[in-house]
Amino acid sequence: MTLRLTNTLTRRVEEFKPIETGKVSIYCCGVTVYDLCHLGHARSYIAWDVLRRYLRWSGYAVTFVQNYTDIDDKILNRASEEGTSMEEVSERNIDAFVADMGRLNILPADRMPRATRSLDAIRTLISELEAKGAAYSADGDVYFAVMKHAGYGKLSGRDLEQQQDNAAGRVASAEEARKQHPFDFALWKGAKPGEPSFSSPWGQGRPGWHIECSAMVREELGETIDIHLGGADLVFPHHENEIAQSEAATGKELAHYWLHNGMVNVGGQKMSKSLGNFTTIRALLDSGVSPMTLRLFTLQAHYRKPLDFTAEALEAAATGWKGLNVALGLTVGTTRSQSELPVPLQEARKRFAAAMDDDLNTSAALAVLFELAKPLRGLANRIERGDASASSELEQASSQQQLALLLELAAVVGLQHEPQETAGATGGLEDRAIEAQIEARRAAKAAKDFAAADQIRNDLKAQGIELIDKPGGITEWLRS
Ligand SMILES: [Zn+2]
């Protein structure tokens, strides 16, 4: 049983072998923090969260680093539109990123370096490249010279000479005119008037996008790492350029495995701002789609394939999740047997691992979860109806072992029980708003203003929210 992964670098499915036994170092390209995260981010970061959880479950000590790009034209443009600063835009979107990833049950990275806090490492790397003749300065900018680096194009399969011919005859921009080859890219950009800038041996300016990842990988994880992650849209030029910079500087391979996730389509079309089908994670979850429904939906497709969002597909995922959620909501009792797993459960565990080992075949792994959940869901429904024999069946060792295995494997793909009120496919009022109303009603009752308390109950009822008062002053609620 060995994990096999599709390596973009070799274009093959390869057996995963870490540099150091029992340890895995992973770098994942993070977000440019100028806006809220969208469905493409959800898809990508859920996939890599599952890789990380699976490696941990398999016994590896995983170090996962993901950066924040907090200096970029998009952030500067946003700041000038808003009349705020680059720092304000970045901080706000970093907070939003943390909140959105948390809702999706994506584990926070072990370290999250920021470009603006990694400037020493960036400047050092650029100086090394310059000293080796792999970079040249021109009018306050510094460029990487792709022609000087044998092996440029090995990740993406681009051909430098071919591209030279294509570029010939076009009118060049000022930046293009400064470059020795059209694929040369900026390591350092000279400051423009009015923009935030940092000091450097090449004058005031700021780093290019690609160099920050090369610098952070080396600073956080070393010269060669096990796995480098990103979306398929990053293969060229971003990852190609990361490889060129790092390998030109160190003479060592940057990463042994390069994994890329497929893109997201909405209703059959590529998701983009100009098409107006660009959905943020926040907007989708606030519309009533539960976080675990979104997670289940993305994991039903293989991470390398395009993922097509449609209302129907999401609705189907919501139905699937409902069944799984009922079983995951059962409690592991005290009678759980310490003895070995019965053979059918051992087999289920093996099939789950075999699916995940097969280049993270999450849809096959989910099938094992559904199979384990099925009888438990039946028990849960009978318990719900007040069937006492179902409660004692659940207490039996075999049921308890089945439930414990289900909970264990669900956690490997990051699925966890959601309380009923967030598990619906659609909804109006946000949970927070409902809780606030319940609190207001409690306060009204405490003040003996029963008319106000009844008004709140009736208002919520009109919006499809049923309140159930339980002993001890506890109020539960249901969407009707
Ligand atoms: Zn990167």
Q: Are strands 255-261 and 225-231 parallel, antiparallel or unpaired?
A: parallel
pLDDT at 4 over 90: yes
CA distance 281 to 375: 33
Instruction: Kindly report, residue by residue over 227-237, the tens digit of the pLDDT.
Output: 999 999 999 99
Alpha carbon 230 to its chain's center: 10
376 C-alpha to center of ligand 1: Å? 43
Highest mean pLDDT among 180-189, 427-436, 468-477: 180-189
For 194-207, b/e burial (b = at least 16 CB within 10 A) is: ebebeebebeebbb
Lowest mean pLDDT among 92-96, 246-250, 334-338, 413-417: 334-338
28 C-alpha to center of ligand 1: Å? 7
Highest mean pLDDT among 284-298, 321-335, 444-458: 284-298
CA distance 367 to 371: 6
Residue 265 structure tokens: 């389509």
DSSP codes, 166-214: HHTTSPPPHHHHH-SSTT-EEEEEEPPTTS--B--TT-SEEE-HHHHHH
Instruction: Kindly report, residue by residue over 213-224, the tens digit of the pLDDT.
Output: 999 999 999 999
Range 290-317 average pLDDT: 95
Q: Among candidates 134, 141, 139, 136, which has minimal Cα distance to 241?
A: 134
Is the distance from CB of 379 to CB of 390 less than 8 angstroms? Answer: yes
pLDDT at 1 over 90: no
204 C-alpha to center of ligand 1: Å? 23
Is the distance from CB of 13 to CB of 5 less than 8 angstroms? Answer: yes
416 C-alpha to center of ligand 1: Å? 30
Range 80-104 average pLDDT: 96
Range 161-170 average pLDDT: 62
> Which residue type sits at 117?
R
119 C-alpha to center of ligand 1: Å? 15
Range 375-379 average pLDDT: 96
CA distance 465 to 473: 18
Backbone angles phi, psi at 230, to 5 degrees: 175, 175
Task: Report the mean per-residue pLDDT for the chain.
Answer: 91
Q: Which residue has the tokens 């011919």?
A: 165
> How far is the CA of 21 from the CAs of 16, 64, 374, in angstroms?
11, 16, 38
Residue 335 pLDDT: 56
Can you point out the beta strands (E) in 285-378?
307-309
Is the distance from CB of 476 to CB of 442 less than 8 angstroms? Answer: no
234 C-alpha to center of ligand 1: Å? 8
Cis amide bond preceding 237, omega within 30? yes
Residue 425 pLDDT: 41
Range 284-291 average pLDDT: 92
Residue 144 pLDDT: 98
By the CB criterion, residues less than 5 angstroms from ion ligand 1 are 29, 213
CA distance 87 to 76: 9
Range 340-365 average pLDDT: 97
Is the distance from CB of 33 to CB of 71 less than 8 angstroms? Answer: no
Residue 267 pLDDT: 80
Question: Between these two residues, 471 and 445, which has the higher pLDDT value?
Answer: 445
CA distance 103 to 397: 33
92 C-alpha to center of ligand 1: Å? 21
pLDDT band at residue 436 under the 50/70/90 scheme: confident
CA distance 199 to 315: 53
% of the chain beyond a pLDDT of 90? 74
Sign, Cα dihedral of 378, 381, 387, 393: positive
pLDDT at 101 over 80: yes
Q: Which residue blocks in 67-159 are alpha helix, DSSP H?
A: 73-82, 86-103, 119-131
Instruction: Kindly report, residue by residue over 437-470, the tens digit of the pLDDT.
Output: 888 888 888 888 888 888 888 888 877 888 888 7
DSSP codes, 284-322: HHHTT--HHHHHHHHHTS-TTS-EEE-HHHHHHHHHHHH
**Burial (Cβ within 10 Å: 0-12, 13-18, ≥19) of residue 295:** buried
Is the distance from CB of 69 to CB of 32 less than 8 angstroms? Answer: yes
pLDDT at 347 over 90: yes
Residue 426 pLDDT: 40
Residue 427 pLDDT: 44
% of the chain beyond a pLDDT of 70? 93
333 C-alpha to center of ligand 1: Å? 46
217 C-alpha to center of ligand 1: Å? 9
250 C-alpha to center of ligand 1: Å? 17
71 C-alpha to center of ligand 1: Å? 13
42 C-alpha to center of ligand 1: Å? 17
Output DSSP code: residue 39. H
Is the distance from CB of 234 to CB of 8 less than 8 angstroms? Answer: no
pLDDT at 131 over 90: yes
309 C-alpha to center of ligand 1: Å? 26
pLDDT at 194 over 90: no
pLDDT band at residue 47 under the 50/70/90 scheme: very high
Q: Are strands 474-479 and 465-470 parallel, antiparallel or unpaired?
A: antiparallel
Q: Among candidates 209, 318, 299, which has minimal Cα distance to 261?
A: 299
Helix (H, G, I), strand (E, B) or coil at 5: strand
Residue 160 pLDDT: 84
467 C-alpha to center of ligand 1: Å? 49
Residue 442 pLDDT: 84
> How far is the CA of 296 from the CAs of 36, 46, 291, 408, in angstroms?
22, 10, 9, 16
312 C-alpha to center of ligand 1: Å? 34
* pTM score of the predicted model: 0.86
213 C-alpha to center of ligand 1: Å? 5
Lowest mean pLDDT among 132-136, 165-169, 242-246, 296-300: 165-169
280 C-alpha to center of ligand 1: Å? 22
Highest mean pLDDT among 57-66, 270-279, 378-387: 57-66
Is the distance from CB of 265 to CB of 307 less than 8 angstroms? Answer: yes
Residue 456 pLDDT: 86
Q: Which residue has the tokens 């006492």?
A: 388
pLDDT at 337 over 60: no
